[in-house]
Structure 1
């Protein structure tokens, strides 16, 4: 098997030639769309379908990882769509004159709600001012005086008839100013005084009393007629006041009634206001409100203040400045902000509310349009999620007061529910989607469409050209300094570096935007008017410098040789493995020495990481695959009888993944064969049961980590890293590493099998079994096979007792 050749420098990083950028700088990039349909075909397909479908169950869940610009993507997609949609109506809440605890909702064309509120406020203010004035005018007073005179004349006529009737019966009728009546007997035409009456004999008094009672009974008819006249007078007086009030109300309300004649609900409300003004005119005559209200403004219905509160229009949703359908992005979706609420005010310690204190939530402001919510925000919104699901399930937006536990409910109102006409779009991760999908059956019924965002696209010339307008839009919107052609090419390369893939471009544009903003600021510090390639590289290096403190501290431990990892020389049963550490959002690679010991026995290979409970399940599986490979290669004609151990030396953190299984197998084969491993190399790759080397993650960080240690100790030209061949496409190494390879100071080898790794690490061919079932002399596998045979024989001789053998 030929020894693998190291990778050429151009294979280590997919560069973007500046001459492939068709613009001298970003100022020449034409203004493009906020997104390209080809970048997110699945998400756009779902959103377009959601817009076309009606029904409250066809809401959308936009799934994607962070830093994909999910909300910005939605806003960019929905804004032009919403601009072409009809503008939804205004919504106002008004007093319900039939049931004050259930305010009514009126819908009006956009802008008319604000006009109704303003014009009705002016009309009511004018009515309040004019009614008292009208009642004091001569014409009104004259009519009232005429009614009073007519009533007084009729009253006097009745009293005169009553007196005449009493005299005919021998009594005198005395009527006081309060309308009280007293009968006095007449004897010989003279009125009998109380003293004279008391001196009469009892029989005479009895006769006079009986006659007086009879006279009073005769007066009943006159009294009823007098009472009827009094009621008639009061009714005529009230009717006169109401007619005057009606004239005032009609004068000021007639223009509004004509303006809103085509809007039946608004017209009916205005007519109810007119009727209430007429019926409650006395409230406009009251000089002052009561000293202490007894509940809420409804208790002040006889005062001008209470009446004005009843006639006030609550502009609940104002679309006067909305062009097209609304796109509402709620970033704090608690119950009140999302679903609305009924507020209360305190007056003299009493809480009250009315229709003017009904406040809209985001779901109401989005009616007729789109409501965008982040699922992470909803998770902290208390009862908002339950309220949202109830609204979607019922198709109605109800404004409710949430109660928790034993909370005491205060007196409230029940506003009219509104039809839910908004399309709800939830934004979250795939993990959150699965939790909702399997944890709440209502979610699947109400969010039937999933819009899935992808985080990368193929790196083609066409997609690079599509990415440039997006970068230009970022520069324009953030008001950054122009980017030169070379800097734009560097951004294309960075888009691949963020993917760790030469054939892909990231769609995590917010991460690119962060670098672009920092590069623009750095250009300003350097006194440059344009961001060039050097400034962009400096900005990238500065980001790395700000984040790599922990890496520096680890590397310092390698410099001081506190962490024992050799980058030169050779050792038996030792190999340099590579790992990736992640602290926050910063990842870096570090080399580790993998050590293996073997001896005679039946214990097998012991995974010390697992025994110390530091090894994860995937790492354990890698160890099992390693053992299965050993059995498949060397247990064909004899039992594999050995005991031994494998471990990461000086590693005290948890170990997970199988990327070190190739290096572990190399250390094991070295320990069995006695062939030393060249420690100038580090090895990363997962091994299969057939010995194939498979792709791993974090290959760029691993290579750069080993390179950094080697550089500090002095590059010899022999050092390098062996990686799976399948990972070559993942290489987006720093320019420094690429230059070191170009200068012949560092090497990177692509591997397809453990046999290729063995040949590089030990200098011996691995070998393959011949027709006789034996490995050729001088091969590493022959040394391993002979050693295992000797160990099997010794184990049989010593009865299985563990004996460590020196090679």
Structure 2
């Protein structure tokens, strides 16, 4: 196989020529150029969610952060919600039949505000007018007539009773409360109790007997007197009721006529009218002693609080909506999401009523859309459970917070709210998979997954749409215009973010941040338009603010505190590459991989694994490496050796198999004795057949090794060996591209470990001949001979023992 040639500078990155941008600057890009977001799966999931009204077809928008998930959902919902009907208002009112269970009523959108205003005005007028009418002369005359009639009848009955008592020899006294006393008369004089005891026994007996008979007769008359008084009070009550009834006709009947088509409202107003008539005393002029605050609480409220029952709690008010509501709840606690029943304190006692029932986001979104972020919602397990229960039942039961406490006080139980809401959850795919596996309610209630993708192909149509999105960001954020060179640089930056020459990253929030900084830099420099040089400086400034740790590491390389050679060669040592991340900043660094081999039966030890610093994927890479040796060199002899592989000066966990190619290179070098050229670094995963496979972060890895070489002085012979499959992922910075173009740095794409070893050692790998031997002078011949020698030495030592 021919030795690979280094890549030309034109293959190291995708470049968007500014002349291919059809606009001089972003101001010329029409708003129509921003085509719909390139998220076909997400948009299909949302479309299906709107089209299906059956319960359970709620939507989970799955995607990584910084994809503009919330923005996309908002942009999708707003135009569609605006065309939908406004949902009805929901109001809670007093339940006159069962005060502990407030009633809920539906009213047309905006009707809750109108109804409450009209009812409050009617009750205010009723409270004012009833006392006024009861104080009018006409009512006073009628009341006086009733009273005189009763008093005349009472006086006549009392005189009759007194006459009958006198005829029997007794004197009768009747007090105002209806109490009756009889006193005997002896010789025309009233006998006191003391004098009565002094009378003759026979006379006393006679008087007592006559008194008892008379008292029995008088009791019948007294009962008649009580009935007369009761009749008077009833007549008086009827008179007052007729006045109140007339007032209610004036103020409640017009209100009731406006809601004849609503059985709920009509029934409520009838019950309200009956309750006012049953509690007329509350509307009469206050002429009784005031009730104490504590007694008022035991009686169901203070004198003023009594009238709260005649008001309306506008639980959900859609008067300001234009279409279906879209509620983004950013703090989904139990109360904020599911509603609550608040309590107030009076005289040290807690109380509640239907006016203290508060709606949650779930209720405000009823008839529309509720959008929640899973990262926020999972911080509130009770809110999450309550949401699932409500969606499963189709109604939301508003619970008193004290129901979750050990001690409960008397509360209320509002009627549950029927739900007709589409819930949209926004979260990562990992959260989706976890919920799908551990909560059987989740897949039943969120049947639609709207999956967002990270990238879009870099095609002419997608670039056009991407430019439209950039123009919209510039307009919305009021940024300085971007000229064609800056727009072209933004397209290339999107490919660098995607780490792919043929794709554009859709992490638009991160792009927006950089655009804001570029615009600010242009204004600092008093430039009216953002050009590519300003944009690139903004990107460099952003990196500079975040690359402190990278500079610290590079300083360690400069001082040779981290031992990585960029010139010379050595046996059993290769330069590998790794990517490190601090916060949102990633950078590549080289590291030395070393291998030792000798006589023995211990095999190749992975020191990272032995020190518990190697992850399972790295361990698998080591096993593949051993399998490669077995398949290639153990056909005619056993592999008998001892040795070790390790990452020098590495004190953190190593994970991934991207270093397995460099590990195999150091092992083959140690076995063959052929030195590895340290002017090269090598990254790539190796298969059991020796193929070099693609790895991640290849751009950052190359740039990391380039920086170390540059700081030590480029020789023109340094470079990086990468998997051929990774060539399309290269989006190298201008500095590296210029160095390659000048012949001062080289990047070699390889497909097999044999190609890599030829570059690293300068020796051809060799191919096994039909005789079973590799050609003389090849790398694999030297490895094969050394393995045979180690096997013989091991066998000899065993015989000597």
Q: Does structure 1 retain, via aligned residues, the 8 Å contact 2:341–2:401?
A: no
Displacement of 1:776 in angstroms is 2.1
Change (3 A) 1:545 1:52: same
Q: Does structure 1 retain, via aligned residues, the 8 Å contact 2:521–2:534?
A: yes
What SS does the aligned partner of 1:522 have? Answer: helix
Deviates more, 1:621-630 or 1:786-795: 786-795
Q: Quick check: 1:110 aligned with 2:101?
A: no
> Partner of 2:596 in structure 1?
597
> Partner of 1:752 in structure 2?
751
> Partner of 2:257 in structure 1?
258
Q: Quick check: 1:237 aligned with 2:229?
A: no
Deviates more, 1:13-22 or 1:728-737: 13-22
1:778, 1:716 → 2: CA distance? 29
Per-residue CA deviation, residues 676-712 of structure 1 (Å, 9 max, x unaligned), is: 2211111111111111111011101100000000010
> Partner of 2:66 in structure 1?
67
Q: Does structure 2 retain, via aligned residues, the 8 Å contact 1:341–1:401?
A: yes
> Partner of 2:681 in structure 1?
682
Change (3 A) 1:108 1:167: same
> Partner of 2:9 in structure 1?
9
Deviates more, 1:605-614 or 1:769-778: 769-778
Q: Quick check: 1:22 aligned with 2:22?
A: yes
> Partner of 2:31 in structure 1?
31
Deviates more, 1:24-33 or 1:472-481: 24-33
> Partner of 1:584 in structure 2?
583
1:279, 1:456 → 2: CA distance? 71
Displacement of 1:67 in angstroms is 1.1
> Partner of 2:337 in structure 1?
338
Q: Does structure 1 retain, via aligned residues, the 8 Å contact 2:594–2:646?
A: yes
> Partner of 1:723 in structure 2?
722
Per-residue CA deviation, residues 45-72 of structure 1 (Å, 9 max, x unaligned), is: 1222222222322222221111112122
Q: Quick check: 1:522 aligned with 2:521?
A: yes
Q: Quick check: 1:218 aligned with 2:217?
A: yes
Q: Does structure 1 retain, via aligned residues, the 8 Å contact 2:34–2:466?
A: no
Aligned residues: 798
Per-residue CA deviation, residues 58-104 of structure 1 (Å, 9 max, x unaligned), is: 22222111111212211111112211211111111111111111111
What SS does the aligned partner of 2:600 have? Answer: coil
Displacement of 1:193 in angstroms is 4.2
Displacement of 1:716 in angstroms is 1.2
Deviates more, 1:416-425 or 1:27-36: 27-36
Displacement of 1:729 in angstroms is 0.8
Q: Does structure 1 retain, via aligned residues, the 8 Å contact 2:570–2:676?
A: yes
2:761, 2:368 → 1: CA distance? 69
> Partner of 2:203 in structure 1?
204
Displacement of 1:736 in angstroms is 1.1
TM-score (norm. length: structure 2): 0.96
Change (3 A) 1:491 1:295: farther
Q: Does structure 1 retain, via aligned residues, the 8 Å contact 2:16–2:489?
A: yes
Change (3 A) 1:796 1:295: farther
Q: Quick check: 1:500 aligned with 2:494?
A: no
Change (3 A) 1:257 1:436: same
Q: Does structure 1 retain, via aligned residues, the 8 Å contact 2:59–2:448?
A: yes
Displacement of 1:184 in angstroms is 4.4
> Partner of 2:477 in structure 1?
478
Per-residue CA deviation, residues 341-400 of structure 1 (Å, 9 max, x unaligned), is: 110000110000000110101111111111111222122214111211211121111001
Displacement of 1:170 in angstroms is 4.3
> Partner of 1:58 in structure 2?
57
Q: Quick check: 1:293 aligned with 2:286?
A: no
What SS does the aligned partner of 1:745 have? Answer: coil
1:710, 1:105 → 2: CA distance? 75
Q: Quick check: 1:635 aligned with 2:620?
A: no
1:562, 1:740 → 2: CA distance? 26
Q: Does structure 2 retain, via aligned residues, the 8 Å contact 1:795–1:801?
A: no
Displacement of 1:148 in angstroms is 0.4
Change (3 A) 1:336 1:750: same
TM-score (norm. length: structure 1): 0.95
2:676, 2:140 → 1: CA distance? 120
1:108, 1:310 → 2: CA distance? 19
Deviates more, 1:488-497 or 1:171-180: 171-180
1:643, 1:368 → 2: CA distance? 72
> Partner of 1:465 in structure 2?
464
Per-residue CA deviation, residues 508-546 of structure 1 (Å, 9 max, x unaligned), is: 111111111111222222212222111111111111111
1:318, 1:542 → 2: CA distance? 49
1:361, 1:800 → 2: CA distance? 84
Q: What are the ranges of 5 or more consecutive residues in structure 1 without an aligned counterpart?
A: 803-807
1:54, 1:442 → 2: CA distance? 18
After superposition, residues 150-229 of structure 1 pair within 5 angstroms as 150-185=149-184, 190-194=188-192, 200-229=199-228
Deviates more, 1:672-681 or 1:397-406: 397-406
1:418, 1:771 → 2: CA distance? 83
Change (3 A) 1:238 1:405: closer
Change (3 A) 1:599 1:185: closer
> Partner of 2:308 in structure 1?
309
Displacement of 1:181 in angstroms is 3.2
What SS does the aligned partner of 2:294 have? Answer: coil
What SS does the aligned partner of 1:644 have? Answer: strand
Per-residue CA deviation, residues 542-587 of structure 1 (Å, 9 max, x unaligned), is: 1111111111100000001111111112222221111111222222
> Partner of 1:805 in structure 2?
none
What SS does the aligned partner of 1:798 have? Answer: helix
Q: Does structure 1 retain, via aligned residues, the 8 Å contact 2:33–2:464?
A: no
